[in-house]
Structure 1
Amino acid sequence: MTQTPVIAIFDVGKTNKKLFLFNEDYEIVWEKTTQFPETTDDDGDPCEDVSQLSDWVQSSLNDVLQLPEFSVKAVNFSAYGASFVHLGANGQTVGYLYNYLKPFPAAIRQQFYDTYGTQSDLSLQTASPALDSLNSGLMLYRLKYDKPELYERIRYSLHLPQFVSYLISGKCFSDLTSIGCHTMLWDFQRNDYHQWVLNEGIDKILAPTFPSDNVISPEVANRPYPVGIGLHDSSAALIPYLASFREPFILISTGTWSISMNPFNASPVTPEELQYDCLCFLHYKGQPVKASRLFAGYEHEQQTKRLAEHFKTPVDYYKTVAYDPLLIQSLRMHRPDAGTNFDQVKNPPMQESLFGHRNLSHFQSYEEAYHQLMLDLVAQQLISTDLVLENSPVKRLFVDGGFSKNPIYMALLAAAFPQTEVFAASVAQATALGAALAIHQHWNTKAIPAEIVDLKLYTTDSVAI
């Protein structure tokens, strides 16, 4: 039997744990998905079950190595960030994979900022909004003072992508895509760990850094395999675009969050940008990517429920609403705002649009109200994306995820950025694909295909062409 050369990619999400086999043309030829129930940590808070995850990764790789139709040439990993797994001197896990939503002790937070500077100063230096447990570096600081007995047992703390790689390779490394993403560990001005990390000695439990596009070659099932050290999922999802396009672009990745990413804007984050949920992270080549976040997918979900209840329609009725440019023009000229109180809108207005404060009885139909919702969301998106667009030579804007399939959103976005080509982009399993592409040269004998990303151009005067 002729075996198909493949790369095995573990893609570890908060909910779904996936394993893919990609052939040399980067087509998915085999996959499986599983979910694990959460366990609880020593404080009773929910957390990932590291033992179950470890068993699944190791047994799943062993299973695919036995598949007669495939020849596994390499292995790599992507996983959610902001989470550490801790190893003791014997290489076994100690403590827990604490959830990045875990409540953070106010006294520890106060102690940290009293010692090392204001939230605003540290956020500027580390390009990280102050997010408590979502700043994974602060979780290590917390362990040192809140759980000192556990901290003393730690030899290495590995971000989750590197821990999953460790399960296969047995080697401990740190990776810049994890270190450099809202961790408060990395000083973007010095391009090194922040001074507070060195003062606390936390750098001593962070494994040596290793390039994200390089591999190690441990023996797996009695033969050497090229094994990557894993990538933070946000950085991995950007790689198919970096591999496919040379001209500067912005990617708006849409889901619960709409995240605008500009790999061609290396300017430092400003205080105003931080206020509007802007940050920087490092991509797999170690270069900064300016990014801004908007809670647009979540708001769309909440407001379409509200619309469905008011107009007595199915919750997903919005999927049947066609883009109507005349309706958009009418709403812009005669917006039904009479009597609406916008005083409650948060400032800065990035966590919610104006639509939640609009009186739905002012709209004559679901279609009219839904077009107004999209106008309000895209007005926010314009502000959010402009933060990362400023002073960079971007001529193309790609949208992937849920909103890329929404013709009203896409047409309004094209109108909002008339000097930029706006595309709906589609990449199957972009995060896993990015992890495969990162180590392309170490396993694949073919060139990277030209058509990895499917594009559909949107213009200001048509829904799509």
Structure 2
Amino acid sequence: MAAIPVIAIFDIGKTNKKVFLFNEDYKVVYERTARFAEVADEDGYPCEDLQTLTDWFFASLQEITSLDKFSIKAINFSTYGASFVYIDESGRALTPLYNYLKPYPEQLKTKFYADYGGEVTLSGETASPVLGSLNSGMQLYRLKYERPDVFKKIKYALHLPQYLSFLVTGEAYTDLTSIGCHTGLWNFKANDYHHWVKNEGLVVKFAAVAPAHITANVNYHGHNIKAGSGLHDSSAALIPYLVSFHEPFLLLSTGTWSISLNPFNHAPLTQDELLNDCLCYLQYKGKPVKASRFLAGLEHEEQTARIAKHFRSPHNEYKHVRFDVDVLLNLQQNAPLIPAQHNGLKTSVFPQRDLSVFANYSEAYHQLMLDLVQRQYESTRLVLKGTAVKKIFVDGGFSKNSIFMHLLASAFPDMEIYAASMAQATAMGTALAIHKSWNRLPLPHNLITLQYFSATSEIKICA
């Protein structure tokens, strides 16, 4: 029996590290997942164990290329953003893989923004809210001033997807989806590195920018493979939608972060949008995508744990709660009104609620979802205004939550709201980016399954 032609995708999240094989119809035919304990950097702050990740990567590559059932035609990579690997002339990593949540030195931050026009100006030009280490350009800036000896040895600063590509190709690339992801490095209006990057001598630390469809020929243990240059995960997850739909749409990608991605909003970011955690991504063809976000998934995780503890229920009890219009209407009429907090849309008002006012778990959970969707409405509408979008596609965890989906439909009664499902959107998008280099078949038309949700007229969600 002939071996099945496949593409291998390494999808590296902060928690789960996955490898997939997709056949030419983009069906997952193989999947493996791993998790690693974090290590500490030189300051004692937790970070990714780069050596363990590298060892797992090569072991996984060895395993999949030894499977007689499959013929690996191509390989590509997607990872979380804001993460640099600094390599020297020999390709050796010079530092730990620093955590993007690591606190940023206030004095250095103050100096940076004072030198380059202030937070408002620089954020607007780079479409990057002030996020400290989450602005990966600030990580390199910090390294220059705190560890100049290491900075001098850097041949290339590679975002993590491009580092994985480098491990198999020996070629160093810079990818627009990574460089254009709240890094503070890219001037969106000029479509070039910001002048601060040039003034600080950082440009020479970046490899040439490569298009997302580029591949290199690799001979790995006798296997001839096309290797891609890698993509930022949020941008990769958008690709199946861009390929499948041509009318204006918004993608609400839900997980730890709830990110509203509008590829059809090309207006410059306003100061108010920046203050409310809006930013721009660069999609795989280099066009800007306006986005807003808040930590809906994290809040859901924390608050369901609080509810479960209060009502002495299993931690996953919410999975058994059914959408109940009567409960919601009662809550909207009788739940105490809590003023919205001006916290950059980071949370809903639910963390301030007294759980003793709720009769049971179901009632408390319905209130949590009401509050989350209220905040989601405020976040999403920031990037909807002024566009012709009439469809919202929801993927990720909340797309499977019927209460969330029904409430979202009520929040946007003039929109068509769909729960979208597909096999691993990020990994699939990463494969689609280099489709022509390995796949003999045309792009399939059934990549995404949609479920429509209609508004419940009695429920009102608004600003």
What's the TM-score bracket when you normalise by the shorter of the two chains?
over 0.9
Cα 1:26–1:336 change in 2 (3 A) is same
Contact kept? 2:79, 2:232, Cα under 8 Å: yes
Partners of 1:361 and 1:66 in 2: how far apart? Answer: 58
**Which residue in the other structure is 2:266 paired with?**
266
Call closer, same or farther: CA 1:311–1:136 in 2, change over 3 Å.
same
Q: Superposition RMSD on alpha carbons, in Å? A: 1.8
- Structure 1 portions without partners, runs of 5+: none
> Are residues 408 and 147 of structure 1, via their aligned partners in 2, closer, same or farther at CA, if it must alter by over 3 Å?
same
In the alignment, does 2:351 pair up with 1:356? yes
Q: Which residue of 1 aligns with 2:451?
A: 456
Give the Å deviation of 1:220.
Answer: 2.6
Aligned length in residues: 458
The DSSP-based 3-state class of the residue aligned with 2:112 is: helix
Matched, 1:168 2:168: yes
Q: Give 2:180's aligned residue.
A: 180
Write the distance in 1 (CA, Å) between the matches of 2:318 and 2:48.
35
Residues 252-290 of structure 1: CA deviation (Å, up to 9, x unaligned): 111121111111111111110111111101011111111
Distance, in Å, in 2 between the alignment partners of 1:90 and 1:364 is 64
Partner amino acid for 1:326? Answer: D
Equivalent AA in structure 2 for residue 382 of structure 1? Y
Q: How does 1:139-288 map to 2 (within 5 A)?
A: 139-222=139-222, 224-288=224-288
Aligned partner of 1:102 in structure 2 is: 102
**Residue of structure 2 equivalent to 1:335:** 334
Specify the alignment match of 1:302 in structure 2: 302
SS of the residue aligned with 1:137?
helix
Question: Do the aligned residues in 2 keep the contact of 1:133 with 1:139 (CA within 8 Å)?
Answer: yes
Q: Which deviations, in whole Å up to 9, do the C-alpha atoms of 1:52-98 show, x marking residues without a partner?
A: 22222223223222211111111111111101111111222222221
- Provide Cα deviations, 1:200-228, integer angstroms capped at 9, x if missing partner: 11010100000012212233334542110
Query: By how many angstroms is 1:235 displaced?
Result: 0.6
Tell whether 2:379 aligns with 1:384. Answer: yes
**1:6 is matched by which residue type in structure 2?**
V
Partner of 1:430: 425
Unaligned runs of at least 5 residues, structure 2: 459-463
**2:127 matched to which residue of 1?**
127
Q: Deviations over 1:73-132 (max 9, x none)?
A: 111111111011111112222222211122222222122112112112111111111111
Match of 1:370 in 2: 365
Q: Percent identity?
A: 54
Which whole-Å CA distance do the structure 2 matches of 1:97 and 1:363 have between them?
Answer: 45
User: Is this contact kept in 2: 1:411–1:462, CA < 8 A?
Assistant: no
In structure 2, relative to structure 1, the CA distance for the partners of 1:367 and 1:34 (3 Å cut) is closer
**Correspondence 1:18-37 to 2 at 5 A:** 18-37=18-37
- 4+ long deviations beyond 4 Å: none
Please give the secondary structure, in 1, of the residue aligned with 2:68. coil
Alignment CA distance shift 1:49-1:316 (3 Å): closer
User: Which residue of structure 1 aligns with residue 461 of structure 2?
Assistant: none
Q: 2:375 aligned with 1:410, yes or no?
A: no
Question: What's the CA shift string for 1:19-64, capped at 9, x where partnerless?
Answer: 1111001111112222222222222222222222222222322322
Could you say what secondary structure the match of 1:42 adopts? coil
Match of 1:393 among 368, 388, 403: 388
Moved more, 79-88 or 95-104: 95-104
Q: Report the Cα distance in structure 2 between the residues aligned to 1:377 and 1:199, rounded to whole angstroms.
A: 43
TM-score, structure 2 normalization = 0.95
Structure 1 residue 142, shift from structure 2 partner: 0.7
Mapped to 2, the partners of 1:320 and 1:105 lie a distance apart of: 45
CA deviation digits over 1:138-174, x for unaligned, max 9?
A: 1111111110000000011100000000001000010
Paired AA for residue 163 in structure 1: Y
**Residues 216-253 of structure 1, C-alpha deviations (whole Å, 9 max, x = no match):** 22333345421100000111111111111111111111
SS at match of 1:8: strand
Give the Cα separation in 1 of the matches to 2:154 and 2:6: 36
Cα distance in 1, alignment partners of residues 150 and 234 from structure 2:
30
Summarize deviations over 1:428-465 as a string: whole Å, max 9, x none. Answer: 211111111111111111122211111110001499xx
Map 1:313-328 onto structure 2 (within 5 A). 313-328=313-328
The residue type equivalent to 1:336 in the other structure is A
TM-score, structure 1 as length reference: 0.94
**2:334 match: secondary structure:** coil
Find the residue that maps to 1:435 and give its secondary structure: helix
Asked if 1:72 is matched to 2:72, the reply is yes
Cα distance in 1, alignment partners of residues 231 and 424 from structure 2:
14
Matches of 1:383 and 1:214 in 2, distance apart? Answer: 38
Q: Confirm or deny: 8 A CA contact 2:275 2:344 kept in the other structure.
A: no
Instruction: Return the alpha-carbon distance in structure 1 between the equivalents of residues 317 and 19 of structure 2.
Output: 34
How many angstroms apart in 1 are the aligned matches of 2:428 and 2:272?
Answer: 34
Cα gap change, 1:318 to 1:223, in 2 (>3 Å): closer
Instruction: Report the AA paired with residue 6 of structure 2.
Output: V
Between the aligned partners of 1:411 and 1:289, the Cα distance in structure 2 is: 26
Find the residue that maps to 2:446 and give its secondary structure.
Answer: coil
Q: Conserved in 2, the CA contact under 8 Å of 1:212 and 1:285?
A: yes
Q: What one-letter code is carried by the residue in structure 2 that aligns with 1:87? A: I
C-alpha separation in 1, matches of 2:227 and 2:431 = 11
Q: Tell me the distance in 1 between the aligned counterparts of 2:46 and 2:139.
A: 15
Shift of 1:359: 2.9
- SS class of match (1:216): strand
CA distance in 2, matches of 1:104, 1:349: 19
Amino acid at match of 1:307: I
SS of 2:82's partner is coil
Aligned counterparts of 1:213 and 1:426: Cα–Cα separation in 2 = 25
Alpha-carbon distance in 2 for matches of 1:444, 1:125: 39
